[in-house]
């Protein structure tokens, strides 16, 4: 028997907990791993070249669009940059950047709650800096790219098309 698409794409974790806009039940119960094991596991998580970034990059290259990645001279080092059109695209991980954070933050230890809250504050600061410098900022979430990369690519293309119209008028 073939699995349905919605079941095949469903992942364990905070995205599947509870109904939309409802807090996730439960409280932080402590870490089940030793400090050494947790450290080894967390050290394997990378900030560049993630699966969602590679998926979007592959689609952009297949359409022969010219872009930069992780530009050091821009606030927040956007994952994808269209410099000529001043468009910055961030492809953010659901956990690390706190997608729907208010619904599941109570399940985290104080340390991780503080870390993710700081990430969210930094993201907001960087988005504001980019916008005040005249950049358009697009944020794509990990689950959006995993669920429908074509729709995410369509958002980027729409923004590129709108910018080129603004430049031509």
Coil/strand/helix, residue 113: helix
**Other beta carbons within 10 Å of 138:** 18
The string of pLDDT tens digits covering residues 84-123 is: 999 999 999 898 899 999 888 888 888 889 999 999 999 9
Q: Alpha carbon 167 to chain centroid distance? A: 28
Instruction: Give the Cα separation of 55 and 66 in Å (integer).
Output: 16
- Looking at residue 42, its pLDDT comes to 62
Enter the tokens of residue 54. 């590679």
Instruction: Give the Cα separation of 122 and 47 in Å (integer).
Output: 15
Rounded to two decimals, the pTM is 0.74
Q: In the chain, which residues have pLDDT < 70? A: 1-33, 38-39, 41-48, 164-169
Contact 154, 17 (CB under 8 A): no
**Other beta carbons within 10 Å of 158:** 11
Q: Is the dihedral of CA 169, 162, 139, 88 positive or negative?
A: negative
- Looking at residue 63, its pLDDT comes to 92
Q: Which domains does the chain have, with CATH numbers?
A: 49-168 (3.40.960.10)
Instruction: Give the Cα separation of 163 and 124 in Å (integer).
Output: 22
């Amino acid at each position: 028997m073939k699995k349905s698409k919605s079941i095949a794409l469903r992942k364990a974790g905070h995205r599947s907990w509870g109904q939309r806009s409802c807090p996730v039940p439960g409280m932080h119960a402590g870490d089940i791993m030793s400090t050494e094991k947790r450290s080894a596991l967390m050290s394997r998580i990378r900030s560049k070249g993630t699966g969602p970034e590679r998926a979007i990059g592959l689609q952009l290259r297949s359409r022969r669009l010219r872009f930069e990645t992780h530009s050091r001279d821009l606030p927040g080092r956007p994952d994808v940059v269209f410099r000529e059109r001043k468009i910055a695209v961030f492809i953010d991980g659901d956990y690390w950047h706190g997608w729907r954070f208010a619904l599941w933050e109570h399940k985290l230890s104080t340390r991780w709650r503080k870390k993710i809250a700081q990430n969210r504050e930094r993201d907001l600061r960087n988005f504001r800096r980019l916008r005040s410098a005249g950049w358009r900022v697009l944020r794509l979430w990990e689950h959006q790219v995993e669920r429908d990369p074509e729709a995410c690519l369509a958002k980027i293309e729409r923004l590129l098309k709108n910018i080129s119209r603004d430049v031509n008028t």
